Amino acid sequence: MSAPATEPAKAKFERTGKAFIKAENLVKKFPVRGGMLNRVINHVHAVTDVSFTIAQGETLGVVGESGCGKSTLGKMVIRLLEPTSGKVSIEGQEITGLDHQHMMSVRRRMQIIFQDPYSSLNPRLTVRSLLKEAISFHGIVDNAQMDSYIDELIATVGMRPESKDKFPHEFSGGQRQRLGIARALALKPEFIVADEPVSALDVSIQAQVLNLMKDLKEQFGLTMMFISHDLKVVEHFCDQVMVMYLGRVMEKIPSDKLREECEHPYTRALLGSNPIDDPDERRPLTVLEGDVPSPLNPPPGCPFAGRCPEVMDRCRVEMPPLQYRVNGQAVACWARM
């Protein structure tokens, strides 16, 4: 059962630039049942045709509003959800077709951190048993070393040693998120999906957890997918940003270019509707008309067409392809062809 453990070295990791995670044309449709015979009457188009690569040691930020499919995408990438179609591979090895047994060894390499760690930590187990369960299942260390390994983990995420005999409910939100991180790190993963890891935390705690994640990323050379609705956090934490809207990728851009060089009208609207933290530079917020369309019957053409200030006739009938620029940016917009 134990996987060939690639020991994360303590030294700073070199970025090789090699693609680590590759997703190709991922699609997820959830069936909607109804009617007298409970037949499938429709589909929720949660994710439509999403492709990306994450280079080894890099962090891809996925942003978008609720219902844009970012969490569904995150779960598909580590196969917590089965894609309807499309492929995911880790270091060239395709994982979408793997059977249960082979998946097990891959699973150790990919972990997830959730927004609300409380609902993902078993309330009846102490921290020690929580961590131990996964560690012994995957045979990361043997029983003799178990205690010292757990102590080390707890220290790594900046918690006190006595924490290991406590239960999840005895901790504050920030502490629980540290536990969630410890739980993910316990298996010495190489890739972590962090799904809104700091959204439920107060800003002072959010900063602590973001710093911790940054340190760990560098220490263990982790590759990450960071899902958030908060552009400022993504900009701060990630190397690349992928903007999603109603299940589709609107724009991909290096995060340091996001503010100045983003092209897609939706990305601009997102930036413009975020309040600036400076009362002296107050400007009217960009206000988009209307709401996100229903993913049940997504409109033909570009999903953003109904709210887009630059909409053209073509946008309403045909989805623009994601067009790559020389600098690594990619935009799906007819107005930017």
Partner 1 sequence: MTQSNANPILEVRGLTTRFRTDRGIVTAVDDVNFDVYPGETIGIVGESGCGKTVTSKSIMRLLPERNSIIEPSSKVMFKGINLATADEKTMREVRGDQVAMIFQEPMTSLNPVFTIGWQLNEALKYHTKLSKQERKARAIEMLRLVEIPNPEQRFKEYPHQLSGGMRQRVMIAIALCCEPDILIADEPTTALDVTIQAQVLALMAGLKEKLNTAILLITHDLGVVAQVCDRVIVMYAGRVIEQASVSDLFKRPQHPYTKALLESIPKAGRKTEDGRLPTIKGIVPSLFELPKGCRFQDRCKYKEQKCVDIEPDLIPHAFPDRPVRCHFPLNQNVDLTTGATG
Could you tell me which residues are beta bridge partners of residue 43? 31
Four-CA torsion 130, 117, 214, 5, nearest 10 degrees: 30
Q: Are 87 and 23 in contact (CB under 8 A)?
A: yes
CB 71, min distance to partner 1, A: 14
Cβ-based nearer residue to partner 1, 141 or 228: 228
The DSSP code sequence of 155-169 is HHTT--GGGGGS-GG
- Quick one: 93 or 294, whose CB is closer to partner 1? 294
Q: Which residues of 86-108 are buried (b: 16+ CB within 10 A; e: fewer)?
A: bebbbeeeebbeeeeeeeeebbb
Contacts of residue 294, Cβ cutoff 8 Å, sequence gap at least 6: none
Q: Which is nearer to partner 1, 24 or 230 (CB)?
A: 230
Q: Based on CB atoms, which residue is closest to partner 1, 272 or 298?
A: 272
Judge whether 122 and 130 are in contact, CB under 8 Å: yes
191-195, strands of its sheet edge to edge: 110-113, 191-195, 223-228, 59-63, 240-245, 248-254, 330-331, 323-324
| Least distance to partner 1, CB of residue 202, Å | 4
In the bound state with partner 1, the residue whose beta carbon lies nearer, of 18 and 232, is: 232
**Residue 7 or 260 having the CB closest to partner 1:** 260
Structure tokens at 262: 């983003």
Compute the least distance from the CB of residue 164 to partner 1, in Å. Answer: 19
- Least distance from C-beta 175 to partner 1, angstroms? 8
Task: Tell me which residues touch partner 1 (CB under 8 A).
Answer: 65-66, 172-174, 202-208, 210-211, 214, 229, 231-233, 235-237, 256, 259-260, 269-270, 272-280, 282, 284-288, 290-292
Q: Quote the least distance from Cβ 234 to partner 1, whole Å.
A: 9
Query: How far apart are the C-alpha atoms of 316 and 306, rounded to whole Å?
Result: 8
Q: Which is nearer to partner 1, 106 or 210 (CB)?
A: 210
Helices (H), 115-229: 117-120, 127-137, 143-156, 173-185, 203-220
Q: Which is nearer to partner 1, 99 or 281 (CB)?
A: 281
Q: How far is the CB of 258 from partner 1 (least distance, A)?
A: 8
Least distance CB 133 / partner 1 (angstroms): 27
Q: Which two tokens stand for residue 320?
A: 């623009």
Q: How far is the CB of 221 from partner 1 (least distance, A)?
A: 15
Torsion angle defined by CA atoms of residues 304, 307, 312 and 317, in that order, rounded to the nearest 10 degrees: 50
